[in-house]
Amino acid sequence: MTETMRNRPSGPMNGGRALAEMLRLAGAGPMFGMGGFQLLPFYDAIGLVGLTHHLINDERCGAFAADAYARVTNRPGICDGTLGPGATNLLTGLVESLNGGIPIIAISGNTNRAHSWKNMTQECRQVEILRPAVKEVMRIEMISRIPELVRRAFAMATSGRPGPVLLDVPEDVCHGTHDFAAEDFEIDEATLKAPARRARPDRAEIERAAKLIAKAKRPLLLVGGGIHLSEAYQALTKLAEAQSIPVAHTMSGKGSISCANPLSVGLFGRYSRIANDMIDASDCLVVVGCKLGEIATKRFTLPPAHIPVIHLDIVAEEIGRCIPAEVSLWGDARAGLEDLAEALSDSDRTARAKRTDYVAEVAPRLRKWEAEAAPRLNSPDRPVHMARLCRELNKTLPAESILVADGGFAGHWTGLLYDTKQAGRHFIPDRGLASIGYGLPGGIGACLAAPDRPVVAISGDGGFNMTLGDLESARRIGCGLTVIVVNNAASGYVKALQHAMMGGRYQSADLNEMDYAAIARTMGCGGIRVEDPEALAPALQQGMEECDRPTVVDVVVTRDPAQMLPAVDNRTVQIKQGDRVA
Ligand SMILES: Cc1ncc(C[n+]2csc(CCOP(=O)(O)OP(=O)(O)O)c2C)c(N)n1
Ligand SMILES: [Mg+2]
């Protein structure tokens, strides 16, 4: 008998208790939400069954925290919202998880069905509002079906491309009672973590792909967040090394292979060090777990049409959506990469010999890029240069750390310049929906998922303003999180675009000058204001040493909109009709 079977409850219990018992059996981690009347029996049961739940000050932040927790662990993150505004506040966070393929179980309280649609307070069409924001809505209409539907929610969240599932719980279901049998509380262990099951691509297509790769002189792997979801790190590195194939990554795909691996050519797409040049000169692209969307393709101008593409993805209909694929591999990233490696294994030695000169190009190209970028990476400027901030992060953050990057320049600059020292989820940007406001709550979720590892979040001042109330949550929870605020006193990305494209007419782009370090100290957190780049590393160190309360490192960066874009490789801004500047 397994441990979970021994611990199965039975007898009369309310719906909230049954829900909590199922989550306990599923090994649920910390949950994030804000209570209300409808889910009170569930809240009451949380402590009784030994689960952990954190009050969060905005349900969107709860959903973001659950998303980051899920990214670190690949186990479904759990968040909840009460009837109406609680449920609707979950929306942005759930869409992030939907677009990013992140397993989430969201629980919403709903009205007592005896009174629904009679102008109940807080009532709204929440199921309809949230339906397109999740992979599946499960409305629980019978108390007796709670275990079955929670089981199904885990299966939906972790199978295929993972995603968020909404369990909508009417008040009378949560408060009502049913006599459960122990056998009702069955769980499927395979579905408690993504990927629940691994599908292998068609054998004949693998052979075709292998032939194409074997023939190529300059193959290149383009990888995205699917590598993390599939935990395909070893399989990717093994194939790349066995066949001498360099690897470029999207923002979500950073950490698929260690950035320190000599075969890593860094970010491709809108921002690039050398990867876009490598793509241009390639003769075979192997795309894995990557949707090839706007940013990865520089608004669909990459890759050049003549280069054959092999596309491996867990969602069949994603293949060929943006770029036609010569070979379509439908399946799990790890399984597909292992199969490719096996199909190619006889040619490993000859492939490496044939590609010696090719892979030898990578290091000098990177050195050349580095030399050109050096003045910015080492800039002594005050206010602090963003490239210098990224360099200090590279120098200071240990290999096991996690950097959570918000939308805005925080994500753009670190996406281009931050290096993970080992493979794994060490860089978490919210590129599903690219909302601002993910940094702080994402940092909370990552901290709780990896309590023994340093977690640093980097956020714009606009994104931080959006979520400042949850610094209180981080403090109360006791997260030893370091939050870097990129303080440019502006909605900087907007201001930079207005500078470049609107003749410097700034509209609704400026923020107040604020001292976020002082605010943090007032809130009982650590707070360090940094104006001199030399003070960055000690401030980060001090933040990472704080184990039980957050530290805000408020970094004063340029206020000049001409200097804000990640210009390391884009010093001459090109304005094209109908596109944004890079
Ligand atoms: C919720 C949301 N609203 C608007 C945007 C569009 N947007 C992208 S970057 C940006 C600027 C945000 O300012 P801040 O967080 O200070 O970052 P900065 O660009 O200044 O580094 C905005 C408004 C967004 N991504 N998300
Ligand atoms: Mg800003």
Q: What mean pLDDT, rounded, does the chain reach? A: 96
Q: How would residue 301 be classed by pLDDT, with cut points 50, 70 and 90? A: very high
CA-CA-CA-CA torsion sign (478, 482, 488, 494): negative
What does DSSP assign to residue 557? B
- Among the listed residues 545, 564, 264, the one whose alpha carbon sits nearest the alpha carbon of residue 412: 564
Neighbours of 118 (CB within 10 A): 8
Confidence at residue 408, expressed as pLDDT on a 0 to 100 scale = 85
Classified as helix, coil or strand, 170 is strand
The share of the chain scoring above pLDDT 90, in percent, equals: 94
Tokens of 62: 């709860």
Does position 578 have pLDDT exceeding 70, yes or no? Answer: no
Mutate to test the pocket of ligand 1, among 95, 295, 409, 491 (most ligand atoms within 8 A of CB): 491
The string of pLDDT tens digits covering residues 98-123 is 999 999 999 999 999 999 999 999 99
Confidence at residue 568, expressed as pLDDT on a 0 to 100 scale = 44
Distance 312 CA to ligand 1 centre (A): 32
Query: Is 89 a pocket residue for ligand 1 (Cβ < 6 Å)?
Result: no
Classified as helix, coil or strand, 561 is helix
Report the length, in residues, of the chain. 582
Tell me how far CA of residue 154 lies from CA of 231, 240, 364, in angstroms: 18, 33, 47
The string of pLDDT tens digits covering residues 41-68 is 999 999 999 999 999 999 999 999 999 9
Distance 413 CA to ligand 1 centre (A): 14
> DSSP readout, 194-211?
S-SS-PPPPHHHHHHHHH
Mean pLDDT across 155-170: 98
Query: Is 462 a pocket residue for ligand 1 (Cβ < 6 Å)?
Result: yes
User: How many whole angstroms from its chain centre is CA 93?
Assistant: 11
Q: How would residue 5 be classed by pLDDT, with cut points 50, 70 and 90? A: low
CA-only gyration radius of the chain, Å? 24
For residues 3 and 415, the model is more confident at: 415
Place of tokens 């007796």: 144
Query: Is 407 a pocket residue for ligand 1 (Cβ < 6 Å)?
Result: yes
Query: Is 463 a pocket residue for ligand 1 (Cβ < 6 Å)?
Result: yes
Residue 491 CA: nearest ligand 1 atom is: 13
Distance 410 CA to ligand 2 centre (A): 9
Does position 399 have pLDDT exceeding 60, yes or no? Answer: yes
Place of tokens 């122990």: 182
Distance 535 CA to ligand 1 centre (A): 26
Confidence at residue 572, expressed as pLDDT on a 0 to 100 scale = 41
The string of pLDDT tens digits covering residues 147-160 is 999 999 999 999 99
CB 458 within 8 A of CB 404: yes
Amino acid at 318: E
Tell me how far CA of residue 146 lies from CA of 73, 87, 110, in angstroms: 25, 19, 15
Distance 440 CA to ligand 1 centre (A): 14
Q: Which residues contact 559 (CB under 8 A, 6 or more apart)?
A: 383, 488, 489, 490
Tokens of 99: 């677009």
Mean pLDDT across 219-231: 98
**Rounded CA separation 136/318 (Å):** 19
What burial letters (b/e) apply to 268-299, b meaning 16+ CB within 10 Å?
A: bbbbbbbbbbbbeebebbbbbbbbbbebbbbe
Mutate to test the pocket of ligand 1, among 251, 384, 468, 493 (most ligand atoms within 8 A of CB): 493
Q: Which residues contact 71 (CB under 8 A, 6 or more apart)?
A: 100, 102, 228, 425, 428, 445, 446, 449
**Rounded CA separation 577/100 (Å):** 29
Does position 224 have pLDDT exceeding 80, yes or no? Answer: yes
Does position 573 have pLDDT exceeding 60, yes or no? Answer: no
Confidence at residue 162, expressed as pLDDT on a 0 to 100 scale = 98
Residue 461 CA: nearest ligand 1 atom is: 16
CB 262 within 8 A of CB 286: no
Distance 326 CA to ligand 1 centre (A): 37
Does position 234 have pLDDT exceeding 50, yes or no? Answer: yes
Place of tokens 């970010």: 267
What does DSSP assign to residue 43? H
Confidence at residue 330, expressed as pLDDT on a 0 to 100 scale = 98
Does position 569 have pLDDT exceeding 60, yes or no? Answer: no
Distance 490 CA to ligand 1 centre (A): 9
The string of pLDDT tens digits covering residues 339-366 is 999 999 999 999 999 999 999 999 999 9
Place of tokens 């949950």: 31
**Rounded CA separation 364/108 (Å):** 54
Confidence at residue 566, expressed as pLDDT on a 0 to 100 scale = 85
Q: How would residue 293 be classed by pLDDT, with cut points 50, 70 and 90? A: very high
Going by alpha carbons, the residue nearest to atom 24 of ligand 1 is 435
What does DSSP assign to residue 96? H
Mean pLDDT across 211-220: 98
